Amino acid sequence: MLAYLYVVLAIAARVLAGTGTLSLHGFTPLGASLLFFGWRMPRKQFLIPVALLIGTDVYLNFFRYHMALTWDQAVVWAWYAGACCIGLLLRGRVKALFVGGAAVGSSVCSIGYISPWDSVANGIQPMVRMSNTSGRLPMG
């Protein structure tokens, strides 16, 4: 039951941040709640948080951002299921190294889908751009 509570709190934080009511500086605890859900709940219940988050995305896109759904949104929805599956891998392996690896793995997956598709599909400039030739990320 606690896993459902975490998912509902993450959804509430996302909706409140998306509507401008709550400022989380671009952070929502979706990944953490999905990892915990995958760790604690049976696999046949993974569809519940994924469906709730898809509903949240549809609500925010249509009613808050006034944007249409595009093909790249399916990648985001697949990440929701993927984060639950990564949490599934933590069963019986709750050690700092495994939990940290799962957290980094799910966050790297979520960062990976943002920039390439948004910049190509929507004409948005990538958030991090290599502006020098040294191969290092620009600082500041």
User: What does the chain come to in residues?
Assistant: 140
Any domain includes 43: yes
The residue type at 106 = S
Q: What percent of the chain has pLDDT over 70?
A: 68
Grade residue 132 by pLDDT with cuts at 50, 70 and 90: very low
- Residues 73, 32: contact at Cβ < 8 Å? no
User: What global pTM score does this model have?
Assistant: 0.69
Q: What is the pLDDT of residue 47?
A: 94
Q: What is the pLDDT of residue 96?
A: 67
At residue 131, the 3 state secondary structure works out as coil
Any domain includes 1: no
Q: CB within 8 A of 140, min separation 6: which ones?
A: none
Q: What is the pLDDT of residue 115?
A: 46
Any domain includes 17: no
- Give the chain's domain count: 1
Any domain includes 18: no
**pLDDT at residue 129 is higher than 50:** no
Domain that holds residue 102: 31-121
Q: What is the pLDDT of residue 45?
A: 94
Instruction: Considering only residues 13 and 110, tell me which one the structure prediction assigns the higher pLDDT.
Output: 13
**pLDDT at residue 60 is higher than 70:** yes
Structure tokens at 46: 């993974």
The residue type at 79 = W
Q: How far is CA 8 from CA 26, 42, 75, 79, in A?
A: 18, 17, 22, 18
Q: Average pLDDT of 9-21?
A: 85
Q: How many CA atoms lie within 13 A of 134 on its CB side?
A: 5
Q: What is the pLDDT of residue 103?
A: 66
Any domain includes 72: yes
Any domain includes 128: no
Any domain includes 25: no
pLDDT in tens, 86-102: 888 877 777 767 677 66
**Cα distance between residue 68 and residue 73, in whole Å:** 10
Any domain includes 99: yes
**Cα distance between residue 69 and residue 90, in whole Å:** 33
